[in-house]
Amino acid sequence: MDAKKESTETPLVRVPYEALKRSVRDESKALQEQLATITKEVEMLQHGHRDREVVIGDLDAASDRIQNVKRKLQDREKAEKRLLNSCYTRLDYLSKPSTPEKVEEFERERLDRILIDYLLRESLKESGMAVVRSTELEGLVDVDIFLETQRIASTLKQGDCRSALAWCAQNAGRLKKLRSSLEFNLRVQEFVEYVRSGRLLDAVQYARTYLGPWSSVYSKQFYEAMGVLVFGPQTKCERYRQYFAPARWDDLAGLSVLNSHRDSTEEVNIEDPMQLKQFQTLAAGLPRAKHLHSKIRCWLTKEVMTDENPPLLLPNGMVYSRKGLETMALANAGWITCPRTGYRCKLEQAERLYIS
C-alpha cells in the first residue's frame, strides 16, 4: 500500500481492529472472574458433610452457570469472527492492484464511503443504508458504530448521561490516550442537574466522588463548575447561566458541527488528496474524513485549539478560539467582529464546539 493510501485509509482497518482487541481483553477478564467463582464453589462442595439434596442443588446451580458462560462464549466467538473477517476484508480491499482501472474504482468507492459517512452522521439512516446497499459496501462501513453514536446522542438530548458515561467506561484507555475531556464534561453536567433540582447535598457528594479526581487535570474548569453551587439555576450571571442552558445538552450530543475554513494562501501539499482543488470541488458540503491527532489552529491567534482553549462557533458559521474571541471582546465592550466576513455579534452568541 502506498503512503497516500496508508495515511487516508488507516481508520478503515483501525476501527474493527480496535473493537476486536477491546472485545478480547474485556471478555478474557470477565471469563477469568466467572471461572474463578465457579471453581471456588465447586471446591467448597468437597468439604464438609451436607445433605445430599443440598449438594445436588448446588451442583445443578454450578452447572447452569457453566452453561451460561458457554453460551456467552459462543456469542462472543461469533462477534469476534465477524470483526476478524472485517479486518481481512478491508486489508484485502486496500491491497488491490494499482492499475488505472482499479485506482478509478477505488476513488469512486472512497467517495461513496464519504457520502455514507455524511448521511449516517446526519442521522439520515435510511438514505445512508440505501447507498450502502446500492454500492455493496457493507463490509467497508461501520454502520453499527454510527447507530450506537446516534443512540447515545439521543439519550443525551433527553437529558440522560448514563449511556454516554457507560461508553466512556468501555473506552477509558483510548479516551485517556487522546486526553479527551468528554467524561469530565458529562460528570459536570450531572453535577449541574443535581443543583438544578435543589439536591445540593447530593451535588456535593457527587462532586467529591466523580469530579474530585479530575480537579488536578482540569483545575480551572473544576473550580469554575463548583461556583454553580453558589449561583444556582436562577442566576443572571452569564457565565453560570450557561451551565443551566438547554444548549449544553446539544453540545454534549455533538450536534454542533465544526467547519474549519482553510486559508487560500496556505501552501498546498500535492501528496494530500484532501488539498487537491478537484477533490475539494467534488466534496464541497461533505464533512472531512477522520484524521487521527488533528491539530486545529485559530485564524486569529494562530494557536492550537484545545480543551483549555476550545473552538467557538459564531452565528455566521466561522470558528475561532475562545482566547482570541475573549481578547477581542475585552477590547470592544463585549462585541466581536469576524475578521473574514465583518459579521458583528456579542461574545455570548458564540457556541462551544467539541473536537472528537
Measured torsion, CA atoms of residues 157, 158, 162, 163, in degrees rounded to the nearest 10:
-60
Distance, in Å, from the CA atom of 111 to the CA atom of 106, rounded to the nearest integer, reads 9
Q: What is the mean pLDDT of residues 154-178?
A: 86
* Helix and strand element counts for the chain (H, E): 15, 5
Least trusted range by pLDDT, from 34-48, 60-74, 225-239, 294-308: 34-48
Calpha distance 102→299 (Å, rounded): 39
What's the rounded mean pLDDT across residues 73-88?
86
Residue 356: the pLDDT is 53
Q: What is the pLDDT of residue 283?
A: 59
Strands 311-313 and 335-337, by their bridges, are unpaired
| This prediction's pTM | 0.58
Q: What is the DSSP string of 59-128?
A: HHHHHHHHHHHHHHHHHHHHHHHHHHHHHHHHHHHHTS---HHHHHHHHHHHHHHHHHHHHHHTT-HHHH
Sign of the Cα pseudo-torsion (274, 321, 195, 188, in order):
positive
How large a percentage of the chain has pLDDT more than 90?
Answer: 21
Read off the pLDDT of residues 216-244 as tens digits, 9 standing for 90 and up: 888 889 999 999 999 999 999 988 999 99
pLDDT at 275: 52
What is the average pLDDT across 90-98?
A: 78
Question: CB under 8 Å to 51, separation ≥6 — which residues?
Answer: none
Please name the amino acid found at residue 26. Answer: D
Q: Greatest CA span in the chain, whole angstroms?
A: 88
Q: Is 22 exposed, middle or buried (0-12, 13-18, 19+ CB in 10 A)?
A: middle
Q: Which residue has the higher pLDDT, 143 or 47?
A: 143
Query: What DSSP element (H or E) covers 319?
Result: strand 319-321
